[in-house]
Amino acid sequence: MMKKLLLLAFFLSFAVGATANAADKTIVLDGSTTVGPIAKSFATYFTRKFGIRVTVSESGSGNGAKSLINHTCSIATLSRPMKAEELAAAKKIGVNPVAHVIALDGLAMVVHPGNPVRSLTKAQISSIYRGTVTNWQEVGGPNARIVVIQRESNSGTEDSFKELVVGKGVQITRNAETQASNGAVKNRVSTTPGAIGFLGLGFVDRSVKSVAVNGIAPTIPSVKNGTYPVTRPLYFYTDGAPSGPVKQFIELSKTADGRRMISELGFVNQ
């Protein structure tokens, strides 16, 4: 009987050790749908090169911050800085969020390809999203109702747009439609002649038309040199200074391979 118990204890300790080792070799990312393509591209590369499993979830920047605070991810991916209330919640339970800027992004204002409008000022865009301008004719376009598309409240892209364009604390029109991702915004705008929306630069393709903001087109050079007025950093967040594989994963953004991946996805290297 004693031999059986010792044997059972040995196998249990082996199983626990194997599970712990597997967990040590897994990096978990959660957060922004905008940062998602970079995170997934890095994950594929990192797993192939180093044999370390990397999982990526895209539940939104707000949920990424919660995951970091709740210790359910190794890296939170955010398309905006952590908010004061998130930092306070983290500090309260001993979590020390450290920000790592991995790339730059321009928030492109996009319309249907058939819309003749080529440029808008930030003031005009703000008026559209506040609901004081409701017809394209008021900003040099056709006599057609403007269909306003925004992101969900948990989105870092939504937060960045409000802060950079509409104004912090300003209420977006109640008539705005809400979409859950960059892809959903792009699909809605591409199929709706009167629509306007905003996308991370890496998501813009020929299905939509980007318009200049204050006369500056959203391009990699204009984002990099800071002349495009709706530019933001993209972040990886860790609990404290990273080490080991997590540090190596984050520093991929500084390597030639990482910079190539960022560029190929349409985002901007620092």
Neighbours of 96 (CB within 10 A): 11
| C-alpha distances in Å from residue 264, one per residue of 32, 220, 267 | 19, 11, 7
- In 3-state terms, the chain is what percent helix, strand and coil (to 5)? 45, 25, 35
pLDDT tens, per residue, the chain with 270 residues: 444 434 444 443 433 333 333 345 799 999 999 999 999 999 999 999 999 999 999 999 999 999 999 999 999 999 999 999 999 999 999 999 999 999 999 999 999 999 999 999 999 999 999 999 999 999 999 999 999 999 998 899 999 999 999 987 889 999 999 999 999 999 999 999 999 999 999 999 999 999 999 999 999 999 999 999 999 999 999 999 999 999 999 999 999 999 999 999 999 998
Alpha-carbon span 112 to 100, nearest angstrom: 35
Q: Decide: 54 and 22 in contact? Cβ < 8 Å.
A: no
Do the domains spanning 26-102+233-264 and 105-231 agree at the CATH topology level?
Answer: yes
Alpha-carbon span 129 to 255, nearest angstrom: 39
Alpha-carbon span 37 to 266, nearest angstrom: 10
In a 3-state reduction of DSSP, which class is residue 264? helix
Q: Which DSSP string do the residues of 19-47 spell out, in sequence order?
A: HHHHHHTEEEEEE-TTTHHHHHHHHHHHH
| C-alpha distances in Å from residue 258, one per residue of 5, 50, 220 | 51, 14, 16
Alpha-carbon span 104 to 232, nearest angstrom: 6
Look at residue 56 in the predicted model and tell me its pLDDT: 98
CATH architecture of the domain covering 26-102+233-264 = 3-Layer(aba) Sandwich (3.40)
CB-neighbour burial class of residue 58 (10 A; exposed 0-12, middle 13-18, buried 19+): buried
**Using CA atoms in the order 254, 34, 221, 233, what is the torsion angle rounded to 10 degrees?**
-60
Alpha-carbon span 83 to 68, nearest angstrom: 13
Domain 105-231: give its CATH superfamily.
Periplasmic binding protein-like II (3.40.190.10)
Q: Which two tokens stand for residue 76?
A: 């939170």
**Beta pairing class for 26-31 and 97-111:** unpaired
Residues recorded for the chain: 270
Look at residue 100 in the predicted model and tell me its pLDDT: 98
Element (H, E) at 55: strand 53-57
Q: Where exactly are the structural domains of the chain? A: 26-102+233-264, 105-231
Q: What pTM was estimated for this model as a whole?
A: 0.84
Q: Strand ranges (DSSP E) for 119-262?
A: 119-120, 147-151, 177-179, 195-200, 209-213, 231-239
